[in-house]
Amino acid sequence: MTASDAYAYRRVQMVEALGRHGIDDPRVLDAMRRVPRDLFVPEAYHNAAYSEDVSINIGEGQTISQPRVVASMTQAARIRPDDRVLEIGTGSGYQAAVLAHLARFVFSIERIASLARQAKATLDRLGLENVSVKVMDGTLGWRSFAPFDAILVTAAAPEIPEPLVDQLADGGRLVVPVGTRETQVIRVVQKRGERTTVSELQGACFVPLIGRHGWAGEDS
């Protein structure tokens, strides 16, 4: 068995485990099955790539979230085939790759240029042409392409960033971890006209969301 075959087998096992832990959207499970997570982590961590509850350091003080968290947030966003999705925090590009198999187009923002370049290279390697990556302050959103049917934030905010709520389409969903720098709760914001409702998904532990409507950086 080649390394590629071994990773494919472990990916199937990961998806089966996700199904046993409450991920029941077949489109989300199929997307997770199709994306080779090992390509999005440093080579030294390839053997841990398909552990469903393991986050991995990708450099620059950032991590790739556990597959179970990626799947849970993606399922909560209820992505439809014609949706335009905004992701805040490209990181390795793995979440964007999963979203690319579900949505019409994915706009992804990363504040660290080196991570954005590496993520775009991996996405291009996989032939995912429906993802655009830009380096800027993600807490401001991407107003020139708004409104978005769904927004996923892969870093922890001290409160729900208002610019992201403003950039939701009518009926849009925002999934964002909110809390302290150490612990958070993933919240799901649903927009209906001028009204929004907020529900809680699960506890989480993400890196801080740095930006004007997030946490201040260490050099601020």
pLDDT grade for 217, boundaries at 50, 70 and 90? confident
Determine, yes or no, domain membership for 101.
Answer: yes
Average pLDDT, the chain: 95
Residue 213 lies in a domain: no
- Domain for residue 48, yes or no? yes
pLDDT, residue 220, reads 45
What are the contacts of 66-71 at 24+ separation with CB within 8 A? 67/14, 67/18, 67/32, 67/37, 68/18, 68/21, 68/23, 69/204, 70/32, 70/94, 70/95, 70/98, 71/18, 71/23, 71/28, 71/29, 71/32
pLDDT at 47: 87
- Provide the whole-model pTM: 0.95
* CATH, residue 11: 3.40.50.150
Q: How confident is the model at residue 3 (pLDDT cuts 50, 70, 90)?
A: confident
Overall number of domains in the chain: 1
220 domain-assigned: no
Q: Out of 4, 51, 55, 65, which one is annotated catalytic? A: 65
pLDDT computed for residue 218 by the predictor: 57
Q: Is residue 99 part of a domain?
A: yes
Q: Which domain holds residue 131?
A: 3-204
20 lies in some domain:
yes
95 inside domain: yes
Tens of pLDDT, residues 121-175: 999 999 999 999 999 999 999 999 999 999 999 999 999 999 999 999 999 999 9
The angle formed by the CA atoms of residues 87, 179 and 14, to the nearest 5 degrees, is 55
199 is catalytic: no
Structure confidence by residue, pLDDT tens digits, 186-199: 999 999 998 999 99
